[in-house]
Amino acid sequence: MPLMIRALWGYRQFIVSSVQREIQTRYRASLLGAFWTVAQPLALVVIYTVIFGQLLGARLPGHDAVPYAFSIYLCAGVITWTLFTEMLTQLSTVFLDNSTLIKKTAFPRICLPAIVTGTALVNFCIILTLYLGFLWWVDHLPGMVFLAIIPLVVLQILFALGLGILLGTANVFFRDVAQFVGVLLQFWFWLTPIVYPADIVPERFQGLLALNPFKSLIMAYQGIFLDQQWPDFSSLLPLALMTAFLLTVGLWFFLRRAGEMVDEL
């Protein structure tokens, strides 16, 4: 681990310039530029708000006095889920996508997940800024409790990194992994209380919902933005332990297989 940190620090200019190049390349030929960063999550928010909030009459118990309560709740889950899915999707194919660079250039391979993380964070900051603008418009900014988002984002990124590096390394040797990730994320989304409150889930399914490591994290975000309350950090302990495990296993597997990647690519 210390060697990886030193390698990342030593190649920090390469990582930063790669993130800048990735962002510029993504929007260079686009007329609407960075709008496409928010297009997908914005579309999800609009669709689910219309369907659940208007057509189905979805309401959040105890929040009748909060204007746009369902939209605030929904956005809090969607924008943070988007950060996770972008990271996991990109990390699962990061070594295959950069196979030419890996073969022709000598650099620490761990830089590639760092570049994915940096790019995803830039996109997340753009979306979060727009969301804060919406909260300001409806007069529901969270205030100082907003600072609680920092440890939540750090935990989420480390979780995605651990799982993503593990899956990305495995995908070099078993090419079905990336396809599996796409299917997994679809089920994972609906098993996470993003478009529905966890309280409405029938009692017989609450145990299944409790197994979802992302449940407490998403609910912590929603508590910050909707209820303007500090999260219960003790509820995040299982996710923190799982994150430590995934980081350990993911980095171990990556280091063990890094020398074989070039032959497989």
Rounded to whole angstroms, the Cα distance separating 7 from 110 reads: 8
Question: 42-56, 143-157, 203-217: which has the minimum mean pLDDT?
Answer: 42-56
pLDDT band with cut points at 50, 70 and 90 for residue 7 = confident
| pLDDT of 62 above 90 | no
- Cβ neighbour number for residue 21 with a 10 Å cutoff: 13
No. of helices (H) and no. of strands (E), the chain: 13, 0
| pLDDT of 41 above 70 | no
| Position 65, amino acid | A
pLDDT band with cut points at 50, 70 and 90 for residue 97 = confident
Rounded to whole angstroms, the Cα distance separating 52 from 75 reads: 13
Q: Which two tokens stand for residue 261?
A: 């990647």
pLDDT band with cut points at 50, 70 and 90 for residue 114 = very high
Residues 150-174, mean pLDDT to the nearest whole number:
94
Q: Which two tokens stand for residue 253?
A: 């597997």
| Position 147, amino acid | L
Instruction: Give the phi and the psi of residue 34 in degrees, each rounded to 5.
Output: -65, -10
Which residues, 6+ apart, have CB-to-CB distance to 152 below 8 Å? Answer: 80, 217, 220, 221, 224, 231, 236
- Cβ neighbour number for residue 59 with a 10 Å cutoff: 13
Residues 45-63, mean pLDDT to the nearest whole number:
65
pLDDT for position 70: 83
Rounded to whole angstroms, the Cα distance separating 79 from 76 reads: 6
Beta carbons of 40 and 143 less than 8 angstroms apart? no
Q: Pick 34 or 188 by higher pLDDT.
A: 188
* Whole-Å CA distances, 135 to 75, 129, 132, 160: 10, 10, 5, 27
Question: 47-51, 68-72, 95-99, 254-258: which has the minimum mean pLDDT?
Answer: 47-51
Q: Is 183 exposed, middle or buried (0-12, 13-18, 19+ CB in 10 A)?
A: exposed
